[in-house]
Amino acid sequence: MSLKPFKSIGIGVAYSPNLKANLFEAARLSVFFGAKLFLIHVGEPSEEKTNMLSIILKSFEKDKLDYEVIFKTGDPVNVILSTTEQKKIDLLILGAVQREKILKYYVGSIARKITRKAKCSILLLIKPAVERMACKHIVVNGLKDPKTEQTITTAFYVANQLKSNKITIVEEIEEEEIHVKVDDDKSLRLATINKERIKLRENSRVKEIITHIPEELTKNKTIKLQPIFGKRGYSIGHYAQITRADLLVMNSPSKMTFWDRLFPHDIEHILTELPTDVLILQ
């Protein structure tokens, strides 16, 4: 499986109180990945705005940060999507919104539209900070899906770039796969045996994937496999939240229709309640 490193990173820039934190996160990531940073602003270009950006990013000069500011007017969703395609951006950074009063984050309507339509990988940040928070623990999905191998490989690549040592691969298994409904002791015994069997099968499948990953990416990493019986997309977010993971890496959704939004599943669950920073890989 070929690895696609992040060569260019994009971020939407709006002049809000969060601007500095957002820019710092984006700049730091660009430095880590050695990528070029594109600052996309929806609006008229002006001298003042450019100066402000360069003042903020001044502290990254010593890290040789290469960045470019793009001004474009129009509908924010279209502007950002078209710019990502034009500039061949690999990774787009979006900020999340905090629900009033309580510590819960969700993805705003613009960011959500972009997430659904974007053709590149997306990083959703819940609390951008000026100071760097170390990324220690990455949770990645191990679904039975053609994209998974690429996702896990990239997760290891990201872990190396961000210097995080722990990776947990969560295999979400739909409960229908157990084929037994628990009614009494006998069916419970059967269900427990079936679960163990499925777990073994899933673990060996993921282990097989790990052997395909270049060794320099996997060495010195603590790798944990965690099978979970539960709703796809939701359980992994819940798991990332309780294990206090710093980054959750997911496959991109295959296709979204109107019904998928009405009856949320997979990635849509994550968008309504972000457990932590989420990286959606294309």
- Which of 102, 134, 215, 220 touches other proteins by CB under 8 A? 102
The verdict on 101 binding other proteins (CB under 8 A) reads yes
The verdict on 239 binding other proteins (CB under 8 A) reads yes
Q: Residue 29: CB partners within 8 Å, gap ≥ 6?
A: 9, 35, 91, 93, 123
Report the alpha-carbon angle 95-139-216, nearest 5: 110
The verdict on 185 binding other proteins (CB under 8 A) reads yes
3-state DSSP assignment of residue 278: strand
User: Toward other proteins, which CB reaches closer, 209 or 228?
Assistant: 228
The verdict on 184 binding other proteins (CB under 8 A) reads yes
Q: Is 260 exposed, middle or buried (0-12, 13-18, 19+ CB in 10 A)?
A: middle
User: Toward other proteins, which CB reaches closer, 226 or 251?
Assistant: 226
- Shortest Å distance, C-beta 92 to other proteins: 27
User: Toward other proteins, which CB reaches closer, 201 or 238?
Assistant: 238
- Shortest Å distance, C-beta 20 to other proteins: 29
Specify the stretch interacting with other proteins by CB under 8 A; choose among 74-82, 98-106, 128-136, 252-260. Answer: 98-106
Rounded to whole angstroms, what are the CA distances from 209 to 1, 145, 148, 151?
10, 12, 9, 11
User: Toward other proteins, which CB reaches closer, 144 or 189?
Assistant: 189
Q: Residue 56: CB partners within 8 Å, gap ≥ 6?
A: 19, 20, 23, 24
User: Toward other proteins, which CB reaches closer, 154 or 226?
Assistant: 226
Tell the residue number behind the tokens 């709006």, with chain if given. 14
The verdict on 204 binding other proteins (CB under 8 A) reads no
Tell the residue number behind the tokens 């990201």, with chain if given. 158
The verdict on 176 binding other proteins (CB under 8 A) reads no
Q: Which of residues 215-234 bind other proteins (CB under 8 A)?
A: 226-231, 234
Beta bridge partners of 67: 37
The verdict on 193 binding other proteins (CB under 8 A) reads no
Q: CA 199 to CA 39: how far, in whole Å?
A: 44
User: Toward other proteins, which CB reaches closer, 76 or 227?
Assistant: 227
Q: CA 137 to CA 242: how far, in whole Å?
A: 12
- Shortest Å distance, C-beta 280 to other proteins: 20
Q: CA 217 to CA 164: how far, in whole Å?
A: 11
- Shortest Å distance, C-beta 19 to other proteins: 28
The verdict on 97 binding other proteins (CB under 8 A) reads no
Q: Is 25 exposed, middle or buried (0-12, 13-18, 19+ CB in 10 A)?
A: buried
Specify the stretch interacting with other proteins by CB under 8 A; choose among 65-73, 118-126, 129-137, 176-184. Answer: 176-184
The verdict on 200 binding other proteins (CB under 8 A) reads no
* Cα dihedral value 29, 31, 37, 42, nearest 10: 50
Residues lying near other proteins in the complex (CB under 8 A) are found at: 99-102, 181-185, 187-189, 191-192, 226-231, 234-235, 238-239, 241-242, 269
